[in-house]
Chains A and B, each alone.
Chain A
Amino acid sequence: MSGIFKITRREFLRQTGVGAGALVLGYSMFPTEPLSAAGLPDLKDIVTYGFPLGAFVAIKPLSGHITIFTHRAEMGQGIKSSLAAVLADELEADWDRVTLHQADADAVNFGVPFPYPMPGAPAIVKGEDAQFTDSSRSMAAYFLAMRLFGAGIRLVMIRAAAAKWGVKATELEARQQKIYHKLTGRSIEYHHLLLEAKKVAEHPPETDEIKAVLKTPDQWRFIGKKTMPFVDARDMVTGKAVYGADVDVGRRDMLTAMIVRCPVANGTLKSFDKTAALAVPGVKFVEPVLPPGFPMTGGVGANFIPHAGVAVLAENTWAALQGRRVLKVEWDLGPNATYDSDAFRGELEASTSQPGKPVRWKGDVDGALGGAAKVVEAGYHIPHLAQAPMEPPVAIAHYENGQWEIWCPTQGPELAQHYVGLAMLEPEPLKWLIWLATELSELREGERETQQAFNESIAKLLNVDEPTLFKMRDDLKKRVRDKIKIHPTLLGGGFGRKSNPDYVMEAAFLARQHPGVPIRVQWTREDDIQFSFYNAASSQYLKAGLGADGRPAALLHRSALTSFFATIFPPPSPSASAVENDINAKARAAFHNGGEYLYGSCIERAQGLEDNPYAIDNLRIENSPAANHIRCGWMRSVANIYHAFGLCSFADEMAVAAGRDSKDYLLELIGQGRMFTEAVFKEEHVPAYDNNLFPINRTLVSIGGQEKEISPGYPPDTRRLRAVVERVAKDSGWDEKRGKLPKGRGLGIAAHRSFLSYVAIVVDVSLNEANELTINEIYAALDCGFVVNPDRVYAQMEGGIIYGLSYALLGEITVKNGAVVQNNFDNYPVLRIHQTPKKISTSFVVPSPEVVKDYPGGEVPLTGAGEPPTPAVAPALANAIVAAGGPRIREIPFYRKVVVR
């Protein structure tokens, strides 16, 4: 059994600039060798018997300076500081001597599976996705891991001091990077213990009297407190913070590339005339971005590749822009050139007017609708939306000797590495699919069947057996990791856009054409808005039968959505071979239960559709088919955007139809609340509910004949939804204001569970006689379990609510002839300060003891706050407008129905 850390590779130290003298401490709770059952679940044993993993912490032997490697992408959520401070808290690091270093894409060293890394546990997200910063899961996944990293190293330091001084470890205390021995008054700095620490770590004591490793909450310095540091704030306000375009690669010969892209997804380059562009002073080269024959479809993520384009490479940005302006290009626009988003809206609405594929049902909806005293029905429409982060996409790539070094703002460092690697090293799309080959033992129940079908098919196509397939996959991954270095920078906003690395691939392609010369691909705002990965356009149709008491006896909810899985996995195409179509379909089905083309994936259906929280006896939820003609991706809260808009608006429509108070009616819809176990979903015919990749149920694994908990479970729990509604009603003075607001003023309410957290919103609006809307105040309540960094979570609530207001009031991407119509903030407006309410206040709701007692271990696991605030905003606002005497708005953007100044 090895120790918990080691002096790691010189190469790593050289590249990270820490200096070769430093001791690098890595720590993992996920040993390759199964632990003995006797060793679990005592934290003491877990930290004792970890294995050398990687590079989260480095301590310099001379100064005691500590470097913490932050592995998640920082895009405004503050996670860089928060996770590091959690680690430092448990480590008892002296924060004044701590520096943070953004880690490279490094699936080997940072490949810590989550949520509960324990031996024998199936990884919820595999190690290679550990840096992929999406789904509001950084803190949920890594809070405990970071605490254990810190505490484990602190324990080693205590043991090292005990060995050095020949005293009992229990007599020692760690405080601010020093070990104290109370009895003798001695103390010693961590960095003076490094040699002893190495010995102790490599040969942990057979027995150890130290039982408690993790700090208790009263001992925390940062966790859960206002003292949480925000390391980049000062650099951000002085202009020193380094974003993608700000990286100084130390080369004056760097070229800046501006690209003219084909306006239609999957179109191809026909010809171009570079004469005029080359005549612009400073322009050096004009050339196609994609190599001839580069796959436009086919293979995993093939549609995540760049649009076809022609690049103008110049000495500076202005010259590149000038050159691009005069560049003449002809395209073969391809089959998507007929795509028209207005016509498509008609198709979506036609789709939801017909029965779709049932994805959850109970009772007899049709019977109950037939016997209803009153039938309410409504359709809602949400257009494509672009994320529009303030920093447009940008990447700098340098190619030499068969290797790429890339600096870029990215939410997915390993994902960027993976796509760049496949595109550069493996031109055959079929071989890209090897990446998805997965051992069934890695998977949860419900995922294995589709994975097996895929594994068998791809192995057959390649004419290899399964072990060879897995070896090919591992070799490919290693080759990619060896050849592609990704250095993530700060992100000037992400919101899902920077999950998709098409801009990084563009830089890598161009760099390959110019070995030795760094190339910066700079996107303009026009590029960003016209070549996004758009949030799905969607239509929602709801129908309810109200009984004589006004309560719904039956509810039907249909959703048609353009699935982002159609972008990841090419839909069946007549121009592709039967073999290609078959393997692509199997790949999609295997990847997170992606389902089949025309329908939403498991992930999208789980975001506010299948997890309908209302207590209604007769319920049928259907997914209606929808084609796809444009690159779709993710935007802050993703499928919750359209599902919450439909469902939470409709809840209010039912209340209005029943003549009831909206808040009281909503509470009645939720009822007393319940936990949705997997059994509940099964009973109601949901075969595999995707719970943001986290397990619904408490998860136990058998290790050495003993059952060990690896996850407390994250069940949808409508008692918690109820609690946030009650809290926001109280905060907003809902009951006191009822019937007392002046004409033209109204409150609207909505509540939604998104990315495992529960949010309720009350919006207070005024609507004057000119139909001008003013948003007076917004109240929010959030239950995310435990709040680790209160200030940043408040900030996420403020920001997430404003993001929701922005798309609700103003957001719309339209497509004509396959090309996006909008191109800058003048015609794709986003919320500005004068449109922002004067007050946005948030309360954190702590789960009640009655709720907590049902969670194993007596603790509700903490969840995220980045995406949860957003979805309930649009419906709460729509409901408020009705309450203020305005129209019922069933489509985004609202500015078409009310005046937004």
Chain B
Amino acid sequence: MSIFQLHVNGRLHTVDIDGNMPLLWALRDILGLKGTKFGCGVAQCGACTVHLDGRAVRSCSVDVGVACLSKITTIEGLSSDGSHPCQKAWVELGVPQCGFCQPGQIMSAAALLTATKGANPTDEQIDNAMRGNICRCGTYPRIREAIHKAAGGSSS
């Protein structure tokens, strides 16, 4: 066990945990931030996606000892009130079905829009950025549409 300082959603948390603990479990079990979901544990499904310094990463596969070097943003910190353009587009287009994967989908989509500096990505860019996020309900067509909408564009 060691002391780590985690910068999460603009707040500093001091935790005394195993440095090999994946960030996912530190967020969920230690900090009680349960918006980040556990889906596979091996960076295959994207349900646990968070931002490290604005980049989308799978929190199940980043150790706390590494994550503590970056500013961490989780779905709870993406906006204080659900007003991120992706969140708004997701609700307006009724993207979620069961909703379980959607925090991860939105974190990946938000990072994509940061990378394109807000420009409307092509379908190919969306596919490349989002192929690490599985949705078993099959909301992919609406996810594509919502990303275009969040970028202020219409779907291609």
A and B associate in one complex? yes
Give, as a whole number of angstroms, the nearest-CB distance from A605 to chain B: 28
B97 and A77 within 8 A (CB): yes
Inter-chain CA distance A601–B27, complex, in Å, is: 47
Within 8 A of B (CB), among A244-283: 245-246, 248, 256, 281
For the complex, is A388 an interface residue (Cβ under 8 Å from B)?
A: yes
A238 and B98 within 8 A (CB): no
B40 and A833 within 8 A (CB): no
Chain A residues, CB < 8 A from B101 = 390, 492
Q: Of A138-146, A152-160, A212-220, A229-237, which binds chain B?
A: A229-237
Chain B residues, CB < 8 A from A802 = 138, 140
Pick the residue among A232, A233, A240, A248 that contacts B90 (CB under 8 A). A233
Chain B residues, CB < 8 A from A791 = 94
Give, as a whole number of angstroms, the nearest-CB distance from A662 to chain B: 25
Inter-chain CA distance A262–B32, complex, in Å, is: 32
Inter-chain CA distance A316–B15, complex, in Å, is: 14
For the complex, is A846 an interface residue (Cβ under 8 Å from B)?
A: no
Within 8 A of B (CB), among A830-850: 830-834, 836, 838-840
Chain B residues, CB < 8 A from A524 = 41
A803 and B138 within 8 A (CB): yes
Number of cross-chain contacts by CB at 8 Å:
186
A76-B99, A525-B45, A834-B127 known; A318+B138 contact, CB < 8 A: no
Inter-chain CA distance A149–B149, complex, in Å, is: 39
Chain B residues, CB < 8 A from A224 = none
B37 and A237 within 8 A (CB): no
Pick the residue among B25, B33, B75 that contacts A316 (CB under 8 A). B25
Interface core residue of B82, B91, B98 (most chain A CB under 10 Å):
B98
Give, as a whole number of angstroms, the nearest-CB distance from B104 to chain A: 9
Chain B residues, CB < 8 A from A803 = 136, 138
A281 and B38 within 8 A (CB): no
Inter-chain CA distance A76–B128, complex, in Å, is: 25
Inter-chain CA distance A389–B136, complex, in Å, is: 6
Q: Report the nearest B residue to A280, measured CB to CB.
A: B18
A245 and B91 within 8 A (CB): no
A238 and B87 within 8 A (CB): yes
For the complex, is B59 an interface residue (Cβ under 8 Å from A)?
A: no
Chain A residues, CB < 8 A from B36 = 239
Chain B residues, CB < 8 A from A836 = 138, 140-141
Give, as a whole number of angstroms, the nearest-CB distance from B19 to chain A: 11
B138 and A824 within 8 A (CB): no
Map CB proximity to B onto A844-882 as digits: 1 under 8 Å, 0 otherwise.
Answer: 000000000000000000000000000000000000000
B29 and A832 within 8 A (CB): no
Pick the residue among B35, B106, B138 that contacts A801 (CB under 8 A). B138
Give, as a whole number of angstroms, the nearest-CB distance from A825 to chain B: 4
Q: Report the nearest A residue to B36, measured CB to CB.
A: A239
A833 and B126 within 8 A (CB): yes
Chain A residues, CB < 8 A from B87 = 237-238
A838 and B123 within 8 A (CB): yes
Q: Report the nearest B residue to A636, measured CB to CB.
A: B136
For the complex, is A546 an interface residue (Cβ under 8 Å from B)?
A: no
Pick the residue among A75, A806, A834 that contacts B131 (CB under 8 A). A834
Inter-chain CA distance A836–B135, complex, in Å, is: 11
Within 8 A of B (CB), among A481-510: 490-495
For the complex, is A462 an interface residue (Cβ under 8 Å from B)?
A: no
Inter-chain CA distance A551–B32, complex, in Å, is: 65
For the complex, is A392 an interface residue (Cβ under 8 Å from B)?
A: yes
B47 and A390 within 8 A (CB): yes
A318-B25, A839-B141 known; A237+B100 contact, CB < 8 A: no
Inter-chain CA distance A322–B22, complex, in Å, is: 12
For the complex, is B74 an interface residue (Cβ under 8 Å from A)?
A: yes
Give, as a whole number of angstroms, the nearest-CB distance from B146 to chain A: 10
For the complex, is A826 an interface residue (Cβ under 8 Å from B)?
A: yes
A391-B37, A833-B126 known; A75+B143 contact, CB < 8 A: no
A236-B96, A493-B98 known; A826+B42 contact, CB < 8 A: yes
For the complex, is B111 an interface residue (Cβ under 8 Å from A)?
A: no
For the complex, is B12 an interface residue (Cβ under 8 Å from A)?
A: no
Give, as a whole number of angstroms, the nearest-CB distance from A326 to chain B: 14
For the complex, is A106 an interface residue (Cβ under 8 Å from B)?
A: no
For the complex, is A812 an interface residue (Cβ under 8 Å from B)?
A: no
Map CB proximity to B onto A135-174 as digits: 1 under 8 Å, 0 otherwise.
Answer: 0000000000000000000000000000000000000000
Chain A residues, CB < 8 A from B28 = 245, 317
Pick the residue among B34, B94, B103 that contacts A245 (CB under 8 A). B34
For the complex, is A764 an interface residue (Cβ under 8 Å from B)?
A: no
Chain B residues, CB < 8 A from A622 = none
B40 and A525 within 8 A (CB): yes
B140 and A390 within 8 A (CB): no
For chain B, the count of residues having a C-beta within 8 Å of the partner chain is 61
B97 and A237 within 8 A (CB): no
Give, as a whole number of angstroms, the nearest-CB distance from A356 to chain B: 34
B97 and A799 within 8 A (CB): yes
For the complex, is B142 an interface residue (Cβ under 8 Å from A)?
A: yes
For the complex, is A241 an interface residue (Cβ under 8 Å from B)?
A: yes
Chain A residues, CB < 8 A from B3 = none
Give, as a whole number of angstroms, the nearest-CB distance from A679 to chain B: 39
Q: Report the nearest A residue to B26, measured CB to CB.
A: A318
Chain A residues, CB < 8 A from B138 = 798-803, 806, 831, 836
For the complex, is A243 an interface residue (Cβ under 8 Å from B)?
A: yes
Within 8 A of B (CB), among A515-534: 522, 524-526
For the complex, is B51 an interface residue (Cβ under 8 Å from A)?
A: no
Inter-chain CA distance A267–B83, complex, in Å, is: 52
Within 8 A of A (CB), among B110-156: 123, 126-128, 130-131, 133-144
For the complex, is A594 an interface residue (Cβ under 8 Å from B)?
A: no
Inter-chain CA distance A800–B141, complex, in Å, is: 12
Pick the residue among B30, B82, B134 that contacts A237 (CB under 8 A). B82
Give, as a whole number of angstroms, the nearest-CB distance from A667 to chain B: 29
For the complex, is A795 an interface residue (Cβ under 8 Å from B)?
A: yes
B1 and A281 within 8 A (CB): yes
Inter-chain CA distance A826–B102, complex, in Å, is: 20
For the complex, is A78 an interface residue (Cβ under 8 Å from B)?
A: yes
Inter-chain CA distance A75–B97, complex, in Å, is: 7
B45 and A390 within 8 A (CB): yes
Chain A residues, CB < 8 A from B47 = 390
Chain B residues, CB < 8 A from A234 = 82, 91
Q: Report the nearest B residue to A524, measured CB to CB.
A: B41
A77-B97, A493-B100, A799-B137 known; A833+B38 contact, CB < 8 A: no
A825 and B137 within 8 A (CB): no
Within 8 A of A (CB), among B61-92: 74-76, 78-79, 82, 86-87, 90-91
Q: Report the nearest B residue to A74, measured CB to CB.
A: B98
A492 and B25 within 8 A (CB): no
Give, as a whole number of angstroms, the nearest-CB distance from B93 to chain A: 9
A492 and B130 within 8 A (CB): no
A390 and B141 within 8 A (CB): no
Inter-chain CA distance A432–B28, complex, in Å, is: 39
A237 and B106 within 8 A (CB): yes
B18 and A825 within 8 A (CB): no
Pick the residue among A256, A390, A491, A839 that contacts B39 (CB under 8 A). A390
Q: Report the nearest B residue to A797, measured CB to CB.
A: B138
B99 and A236 within 8 A (CB): yes
Give, as a whole number of angstroms, the nearest-CB distance from B78 to chain A: 8
Pick the residue among B18, B75, B144 that contacts A281 (CB under 8 A). B18
Given contacts A318-B21, A390-B135, A825-B45, 9 further A-B contacts (CB under 8 A): A232-B96, A239-B34, A281-B18, A492-B100, A795-B94, A796-B97, A825-B44, A833-B143, A839-B141
Interchain residue pairs with CB less than 8 A apart (27): A75-B98, A76-B96, A76-B99, A232-B96, A234-B91, A237-B86, A237-B91, A237-B102, A238-B75, A238-B79, A239-B36, A256-B29, A316-B21, A317-B38, A389-B98, A391-B37, A493-B136, A524-B41, A799-B139, A801-B138, A824-B41, A825-B42, A825-B134, A826-B42, A826-B44, A833-B126, A833-B127
**Top-3 shortest CB links A-B:** A239-B35, A492-B100, A802-B138
Residues of B whose CB lies within 8 Å of any CB of A are 1, 18, 21-22, 25, 28-30, 32-42, 44-45, 47, 74-76, 78-79, 82, 86-87, 90-91, 94-103, 106, 123, 126-128, 130-131, 133-144
